[in-house]
Amino acid sequence: MRHAQGFVVTLLTLGFVLTGVGAVGAQGPMGFGERGGGGGLGEGLRLPLLLRGAHLTPDQQTRVRDILTAHRATMRALTDQLRQAQEAMTDKLFAPGLVQAADLQPSVQRIAQLRAQLLQESSQIVLEVRALLTPEQLAQAAQVKDRLKALTAEMRQLLPEGRP
């Protein structure tokens, strides 16, 4: 039982590592609020569910933890840098005086660069984890993915977008 709990913690950690990208990226250009798009489960939150549906072996679970550990420092550093860049842009936007698009361009470029680096790093993590899976496990994960997609669509129909 303890081993299973450890694995769930690892999967949740993977989800948080990958949703660090989404959580920071979900902030608008001023560092708050939502970016456009629908709700539902973010890609980062789906990965642990997909892996759980793949029924990883104990060896695969260990290797997933190793992959996460290898990437943790880079992901954390990039996420922190992105947060700082967004805060700096927010400070510029609310500083006294006139602000023009050209004043924001360096911040916009830095934020775009950091988001691209986060996407690259998280994609690398997913590819490394995917390489551990057998064809049968990939098929199981694909079934879970399809079911989650259908459930998300159903939730969107039940709970239309818009603010209360």
80 or 141, higher pLDDT:
80
Q: Which helix (H) or strand (E) holds 66?
A: helix 58-93
46 or 102, higher pLDDT:
102
Structural domain contains residue 160: no
Q: What is the pLDDT of residue 70?
A: 96
Structural domain contains residue 77: yes
Of 132, 138, 118, nearest in space to 64 by CA: 132
- Local structure of 27: helix, strand or coil: coil
Q: What is the pLDDT of residue 53?
A: 78
- Which structural domain range is residue 70 located in? 2-28+40-91+100-146
Round to whole Å and give the CA distance between 164 and 129: 40
Token pair belonging to 25: 């990226």
Round to whole Å and give the CA distance between 50 and 144: 6
Round to whole Å and give the CA distance between 70 and 100: 41
Residue-wise pLDDT tens digits, 115-162: 999 999 999 999 999 999 999 999 998 898 899 899 999 999 998 776
Task: Out of 26-40, 71-85, 88-102, 140-154, pick the least confident.
Answer: 26-40
Structural domain contains residue 33: no
How many independent structural domains does the chain possess?
Answer: 1
Q: What is the pLDDT of residue 162?
A: 66
Structural domain contains residue 68: yes
The pLDDT-based confidence of 15 (bands split at 50, 70, 90) is: very low
First CA to last CA distance, the chain: 42
Structural domain contains residue 151: no
